[in-house]
């Protein structure tokens, strides 16, 4: 089976600094959930940034659906079409509603406003926020805001969702609700790669990888 996204022989460093990633290989299948664990500074965010085409590796290459990603402006179109992000820090427009924020990615892709609104409402329903769709995001709790970000990520049906410490700023009970929302909203064929140091996040995934000295080590699940 062709991987949804794959890294082949990826090395990366910033400037002339030490290597952050060293000869790393990774394949993530469509519909698979993979956790990448490691302490702060181990390179988890760098790894996700390379997977999501935000950063070009110093060496090696990325494949999407088996096809090598070119080093060109096409990367921008591929990034927009393949990936959606959920970050540790909530990123919303505070003067807009939950529905407006959820629809932003769809509108950026050229989806007509009426259809974008419909899809945004459906996505908010998937994360348990149907009744909060018209609420300004300034009136929402931290957990509700993170669920808005999840709804925005899944609304456009990306092939891969990348989540960077999605529960890093939440308490345990709120984290559970956010994780439930992420798993419920993700489509069966959407791959999920989660960077985390939290075992409760990792154990929900079908595969756990630990980033050690720039290399990935698979752990038994």
CATH assignment of 5-219, among 3.10.20.30, 3.30.470.20, 3.40.50.300, 3.30.70.20? 3.40.50.300
Q: What pLDDT is attached to residue 81?
A: 85
What ranges do the domains of the chain cover? 5-219
Question: Is residue 6 helix, strand or coil?
Answer: strand
**Strand ranges of the sheet holding 215-219, from the earlier edge strand across to the other edge:** 83-86, 160-164, 191-196, 33-37, 207-212, 215-219
Q: Residues 8-29, buried b or exposed e (16+ Cβ, 10 A)? A: eebebbeeeeeebbbebebebb
Instruction: Compute the chain's Rg from CA coordinates.
Output: 17
Q: How confident is the model at residue 111, as a pLDDT?
A: 92
For the segment 142-180, what is each residue's pLDDT rounded down to a tens digit?
A: 899 999 999 999 998 899 999 999 988 888 888 888 898
Q: What is the pTM (predicted TM-score) of this model?
A: 0.91
Q: Are 120 and 132 in contact (CB under 8 A)?
A: no
Tally of helices (H runs) and strands (E runs) in the chain: 7, 10
pLDDT beneath 50: ranges in the chain? none
The reported pLDDT for the residue numbered 55 is: 94
> What is the per-residue pLDDT for 64?
95
**Cα–Cα distance measured from residue 83 to residue 67, given in angstroms and rounded to the nearest whole number:** 15
């Amino acid at each position: 089976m062709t991987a949804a996204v794959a890294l082949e022989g990826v090395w990366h460093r910033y400037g002339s600094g030490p290597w952050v990633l060293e000869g790393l290989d990774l394949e993530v299948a469509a519909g698979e959930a993979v956790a990448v664990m490691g302490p702060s500074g181990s390179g988890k965010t760098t790894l996700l940034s390379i997977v999501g085409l935000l950063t070009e590796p110093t060496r090696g290459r990325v494949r999407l659906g088996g096809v090598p990603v070119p080093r060109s402006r096409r990367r921008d179109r591929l990034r927009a079409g393949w990936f959606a992000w959920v970050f540790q820090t909530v990123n919303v427009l505070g003067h807009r509603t939950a529905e407006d924020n959820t629809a932003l990615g769809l509108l950026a892709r050229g989806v007509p406003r009426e259809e974008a609104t419909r899809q945004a409402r459906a996505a908010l329903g998937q994360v348990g926020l149907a009744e909060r769709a018209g609420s300004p995001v300034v009136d929402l709790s931290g957990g509700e805001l993170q669920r808005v970000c999840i709804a925005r990520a899944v609304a456009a049906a990306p092939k891969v969702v990348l989540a960077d410490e999605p529960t890093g700023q939440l308490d345990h009970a709120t984290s559970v609700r956010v994780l439930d929302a992420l798993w419920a909203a993700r489509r069966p064929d959407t791959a999920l790669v989660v960077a985390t140091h939290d075992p409760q996040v990792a154990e929900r995934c079908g595969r756990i990888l630990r980033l050690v000295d720039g290399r990935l080590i698979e752990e038994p699940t």
